[in-house]
Structures are given as structure tokens and as C-alpha cells.
A and B are shown apart, each in its own frame.
Chain A
Amino acid sequence: MDAPVRIQTPLSEHGVMQLKMGDRVLLNGTIFTARDAAHKRLIELIHQGKDLPFDLRGNIIYYVGPAPPKPGMALGSAGPTSSYRMDPYTPALLDRGLKGMIGKGQRGPEVVHSMQTNRAVYFAATGGAGALLSMAIKASQTIAYEDLGPEAIRRLTVVDLPVIVVNDCHGNDLYTIGRRQFEITA
């Protein structure tokens, strides 16, 4: 396994094309949080032709509903939630310039296809390693939907957030290929 590569957000199209399935990445810069309820509202805004609370272009959404911070911390425990629940909303966001997503678990075929045509990447962070991942989050600001509590949209500043490329924009999927590689048949 190669050493992890450091990447700065936002992501450029060129940057996305360099990323390959299985690459370990340390993310740096700004990312945004959103889960099911926030996604639903973003899609409603798109349907109404209204502006979104943040510019999707080049940006990364982290599927996380963090724990509240203890005093002195930017955010509490903050690991990924299952991504499949965001699948119905995702292609519309990718069409509007979203370049990356961080979650856990396999994406549906429409999302994978949309990632190829829009040149975007899907990272996994280690599910259940919320305490470890929270150490990489240096600042957090709620920018929309405060009423959703843990599901509000937050702008996070991260330093060396450890993730791995599951779906690159060339159509490769680590969940499928990794499983096949280690499966024991007969």
C-alpha cells in the first residue's frame, strides 16, 4: 500500500482525475457536512430554482451527523454514516459541480455513473472511528438548517483527515474489487 497523499480542497477536475481507487488520502481545507434531512432540503431548493447555502462547485460533502463538542473541541465524535441513503439526491448535486463525497458503504449505479460523467470521487472514512476522525477537525461552523440539530449543514476545516478512495472517476469500485480479491470460493 502506498503512503497517503495530501490533498487540498477544493478539488479540481484535474485533481479528481489523478485519484485512483485504493489511494489513501489526507484531506486538508474546507469540507461541508450533510445527511439525509439536509440533502432533502438542498434538492427542494434546486427544484425551486433557488440558491443553495453553499457553492457545490469543487467541494466535498461529508456524510456525518457529529456528536456535540466538549468544551475546547471544534466538534465531537465525527465518523461517516451510510452513504446509500443519500443516493437518490446525489446525481443532482454532482450535476451542479460537487466533486467529492465522504461516507461509508456502496453507492448505487446511478451515482457511480454520474461520478464518471461529472468527474467526481467517493471516499470512505473509517466508520465508527469518530473519535479518531474528530481529531482532524479544527473548526466547525453551522451554516444552514440549525433546526436539524446533528443533521445541520456545517462548514468544517480539516487537517489531514484520513480517507481512502473507493470510487474513482474512472469507474473503479474498491468495495467490489477488494471483496473479490479476498473472497475464498469452494
Chain B
Amino acid sequence: MAIREIDTALITRTVKQLCIEATTVLNPDVLEAYAQGLAQEVSPQGKDVFKQLIDNARIARQESISLCQDAGMAVVFIEIGQDVHFAGLDLTAAVNEGVRQGYADGFLRPSTLDPISRENYGDNTPAIVHLDMGPGNQVRIHVLPKGFGGENMSRVVLFHPGAGLEGVREFVINRVREAGANPCPPVIVGVGIGGNFEKCALIAKKSLLRPVGQRHPDAVIAKLEQEFLRDINRTGIGPQGLGGRITALAVHIETYPTHIGSLPVAVNLQCHSHRCKSAVL
């Protein structure tokens, strides 16, 4: 296949657009999950929360304002076809420029700062960029502006193999229980099982790119997702932690082969404000 050249100015424009869209317009799958949650929730305060979330989504879209004041750190996944050649600014710089422009033009809160001096950079850069290579000559970009209510409540653990699936289940449910209202339930629970220390965290995050509630294609994993969701929704935490039955909208599990000596598990909690937009170039 011939090499396709892509000017990274296009990456900048695309990332900018995706940042603004993601933070102001929720995807239909998220809105559908709210509607189902409202229908299924039995607690009056929980129903009230769902109504506010539906109103909030409408106001943010109509007024083109940030759904949540925390527009997060911009997590950007880029899948690059190996027949692509990039021209112009280097790719990471182009992505960061897109984030800078998107957060400024979208009136989005700048939340990034120097971890030592705690001085705010003022433009929400840098993004967290994950690159993947694959076949073909296309580029797929996913922008996931991820708030830190959910990030702060996320955890990685490296169990010994004997902990088994029961250990995994207990860890996941307890994570949601201990997080309580902090990650803004109803949450989406991203779970990574296997890999190593960083891989399990990465696949937990990647699981969030799936449409909300879409089951894993592997029936065994899909069954685990359903069971974990059922158990999480028995905790009583409910929307905003005020008590109710819909604590999570979905559980997404991704797996990766691991080592004979370990059972890595990561839980990446995502708030109800699940902002995610994608584009294919």
C-alpha cells in the first residue's frame, strides 16, 4: 500500500474539535443509560439526580458550555495505520496544540499543573497521549476528557494467582463501595484484568471507549460484567451516593494475558459525565 501523508495540522484541528464536542455534548449511549437509570431507580433522591443529569446534558448542549466544571485531563488515544506518514509539527505537539485551542475556545477549565510547585499551566496541556500502531492508512483518534473525581478513586492491585476471580470480584465491588459519592455515581466501572502493572491500568481505561453497557464479545467476560454490575447495584450507594439502586450504569472488563506469578487488576472509575468523542482520518 502506498504511504499516505497526513499533515499534523489536521490532527490539531481534529483534537480541538473533539475536546469541545466531548465536553459539551454527551453521546446517545450515555443519554440512553440515564433514561434507563431514571426508569429503574426506586429511590426518590436517586430519581431526582437522574432528572438533573438529563437537564444538565440539555443545558450544556444548548448553551455550548462544559457539562462539568472539571473538563479533566485530555486522554487521547491514537491508532495509527502503519502506512501513514505524518508531516508538520511532531504528533504529540500537534495533539497538545489541539488541546490548548480546544480548552481555550470551549471555555473549559484549565486543570493541569506542575506536580511539584502546583502552579497551574493555564491551558490544560499536556494531554495524556497513548499511541497504537496497526495495519492500514487511517488514523483513529479518541478524546476522553477524564475528570479526577473518578481518577482519584481508581486503583491497581497485583494479586497473587490464588486470589482468583473471587478476589477480583471483591476488589472491584469494594472499590466502588469505598469510593462512595466521590466519583459522581452513577459510575461506569472500567476493569482491566491481566497484563502487568501498567497494562492492566491501560486496558481498564481503554474499556471506557466502548459504548456504555456494550458487552464484551467473549461470553465468559460478558457474564462477569453482568455479575459485577448486579453486585455493585446491590450496595445501595445509588446516584450521587444518596442511596439508591443504580450505583453503576455499566461495568466494562478488558483482559490481557499475564504472568504465571501474578493476577493484576485495575479499576478505573468513570463518572456519569462520560465524555468521549472519536474521529477517523
Contact = CB atoms under 8 A, between A and B. Distances in A.
Interface of A: 1, 22, 24, 37, 64-70, 73, 76-79, 81-82, 84, 104-106, 124, 126-132, 134-135, 148-151, 162, 164, 166, 174-175, 177-185
A105 B43 CA distance: 18
Given A67-B65, A131-B65, A134-B65, A126 B241 contact: no
B184 A128 contact: yes
A132 B59 CA distance: 6
B60 interface: yes
Contacts of B69: 64-67, 76-79, 130, 150
Contacts, number: 171
The residue in B45, B111, B235 that gathers the most chain A C-beta atoms within 10 A of its C-beta is: B45
Given A131-B65, A180-B243, A182-B42, 4 more contacts: A104-B241, A105-B180, A128-B273, A180-B236
A104 B153 CA distance: 14
Contacts of B45: 1, 22, 164, 174, 178
Contact of B109 (A76, A106, A185): A76
18 contacts: A73-B65, A77-B109, A104-B149, A104-B241, A105-B180, A105-B181, A124-B181, A126-B56, A128-B149, A128-B184, A129-B53, A130-B70, A131-B56, A131-B68, A150-B69, A178-B241, A178-B242, A180-B236
B108 interface: yes
B235 A179 contact: yes
A132 to B, nearest CB: 4
Contacts of B194: none
A178 B243 contact: yes
B130 to A, nearest CB: 24
Given A131-B67, A182-B42, A175 B241 contact: yes
B53 A128 contact: yes
Interface in B63-99: 63-71
Given A164-B45, A175-B181, A128 B68 contact: yes
Interface string B235-250: 1111011111100000
A185 B236 CA distance: 10
